[in-house]
Amino acid sequence: MSSHHGPEARGHRLRPVMIPTLLLLAVSTLVAPSVAGANGFTSKSAGQIFKTAVSDSGAAGSFTVHGDIRQPKMDLTLDLSLSDSGLADGSLSINGGKAQIREISGVGYFEGDTAFWTKNANAATAQLFAGKWIYAPVTNSFFSSFRSFLSPRPFIQSFFGSDQGPYTKGTTRVIDGKRTIGVMSDGPGTMYVATSGAHVIVNVQGSQGTSSVSLTFGSYGVAVHPVKPADAVSLQSLESSS
């Protein structure tokens, strides 16, 4: 895992929050065997199922994902509504520090609590920014580490795109009323993929030693309607006033 640097209150100028490498690689190693009946989509190889799930989920236009990833050095909780329409909303909890992120038509909004700023920057930055909504264009470097949490394709590629297998096919299961088939790679989790319609990811679940994952995907294709924070302050104005 790479070192974890964050924005510093150096002249009160915020640097990009560098989310730990695990957030970009975690689920690529979360996807561990059993044996499914072969017909239609389920007769494809485990690798084909995995790659189809990554492709179809990334192309969905929008989805929600919520749940937890537990690793020896990091606890991550996600509750996100992502879309490729320039509208997204959600929250992250990283090692006890919580942040909210929103995207509305090219503008990113961010609010972190005291624990988040203290862990990812320092106490001085936490005193200045904890509990305050700040905003800037999503192209601003401050938001670079969060962009994978705002749009379906970047999210899916960041979490699953680098996985090279080997893959193992698992059993079929009904999850939230959807028939799925499991597929595994190296790691504690089984990815459950819808066997009919768009072959999207429905669930990633499992545990291995001190690592575990429980993520639920849903609301594919449903519009996201984030609300602009009424009291948001421009990042540029904060930096220029420091």
pLDDT in tens, 32-83: 433 344 458 999 999 999 999 999 999 999 999 999 999 888 899 999 999 9
Evaluate whether 142 touches 124 at the Cβ level (below 8 Å).
no
Q: What share of the chain is helix, strand, coil (3-state, %, to 5)?
A: 25, 35, 40
Query: What is the pLDDT, as a whole number, of residue 186?
Result: 76
Token couple for 32: 């561990």
131 backbone φψ class: left, alpha, beta (φ>0; ψ -120 to 50)? left
Query: What is the pLDDT, as a whole number, of residue 223?
Result: 96
- Rounded distance, CA 76 to CA 192, Å? 20
Nearest to 172 by CA among 43, 28, 5: 43
- Rounded distance, CA 213 to CA 184, Å? 13
Pick from 11-15, 102-106, 209-213: least confident: 11-15
Pick from 20-34, 125-139, 143-157, 196-210: least confident: 20-34
Q: How confident is the model at residue 185 (pLDDT cuts 50, 70, 90)?
A: confident
Query: What is the pLDDT, as a whole number, of residue 159?
Result: 86
- Rounded distance, CA 93 to CA 180, Å? 28
Q: Is the pLDDT of residue 22 over 70?
A: no
Show me where the domains of the chain are located: 29-73+153-219, 85-150
Query: What is the pLDDT, as a whole number, of residue 51?
Result: 94
- Rounded distance, CA 87 to CA 223, Å? 9
Query: What is the pLDDT, as a whole number, of residue 76?
Result: 92
- Rounded distance, CA 109 to CA 136, Å? 7
Q: Give whole-number Cα distances, 187 to 118, 120, 194, in Å.
A: 31, 27, 21
**What 3-state class would DSSP assign to 169?**
strand
Evaluate whether 203 touches 217 at the Cβ level (below 8 Å).
yes
Burial (CB < 10 A; 0-12, 13-18, 19+), residue 4, is middle
